[in-house]
Copies of this chain bind each other. A is one copy, B any other.
């Protein structure tokens, strides 16, 4: 069995050949330190500037508003801590949601320990925050709203335009964790009134270990990593030039091809979701029916548990992920699945399939062939399913 079908593009993607190609000469030819004034250094600086332009263009930001980081988590930490510390005389209240990535949630919890107050907005069964809730939670002390653009598990896309408006009217900074959105959704930080935005290259066919934080000009924010004067004095550390070059190329490719890419993924996903719902009973689809990432499909198969599902899929060559606790070694399943109101036992049976560039109709056919058997086999082994077969449910 040598088939390998990768259906976990939200976890990470491979680096596209065109991206790697641009990166390669940076490792040993244009390898200079961008801070150096001689030609090796100036070449490297030019490459970093070019990447910055590309990122700015993709977001409709200014190049001087883009700051490279080591990834999405650093960008999220920087946005939250940086704005919180720099604005603490103005207020100590932050609003976020219950379904944020841990890079946001854990950082907010840390800030709470340091004396900040954090409101975690609930979401509806589709994973949507309510604009009413948001407005109601704003106080005189609110300095930052941080709501993710699109959810990494269930794919739900938040009403970013409206949140941006509310934040602007209330004169509150608006950060969005767009790690899952960039490359999949058209973003315009000016139009959408976004003050800060996190992104990470390895989610859109760029390399791992590099990301960026967009910081609107004039935003009050402290530094997270202090030291040398790189990134115009805002983020210390010798620049990851090959990574930055890769990020630049990847974001350019992604935004150029966004429409055709979306169309392709949507078609595959429709086939996948319909096929699964037709073939496998006792199954739920999680997330919003329309407002979701084009490549995201998320299911709960009742009476079985996610990890054993993943292991079986892996043996068939299919790479997927689950919000089950057992994949993470904790006891509670994913906070996202709980936040949309799923009971624990159902949330344990979740499966996330996230499509990408190289997936084909045949891949979907293969999943549709293999998955029902696996689910059935696990259900046959499950004491919970016994009772169902007996008539109830």
Contact = CB atoms under 8 A, between A and B. Distances in A.
A314 B39 CA distance: 7
Interface residues of A, number: 71
A227 interface: yes
Given A70-B74, A77-B225, A102-B228, 13 more contacts: A8-B32, A11-B41, A12-B32, A15-B31, A37-B310, A39-B314, A71-B238, A103-B237, A106-B227, A208-B241, A209-B238, A209-B242, A243-B243
Interface in A1-51: 4, 6, 8, 11-17, 20, 24, 27-29, 31-33, 35-41
Contacts of A228: 73, 101-103
Given A33-B12, A70-B70, A236-B103, A77 B209 contact: no
Nearest to A310: B37
A307 interface: yes
Interface stretch (A138-146, A273-281, A319-327, A377-385): A319-327
A305 interface: no
A224 to B, nearest CB: 8
B238 A102 contact: no
B226 A106 contact: yes
Given A200-B238, A208-B241, A238-B208, A11 B31 contact: no
A277 to B, nearest CB: 24
A170 interface: no
B311 A37 contact: yes
A100 to B, nearest CB: 10
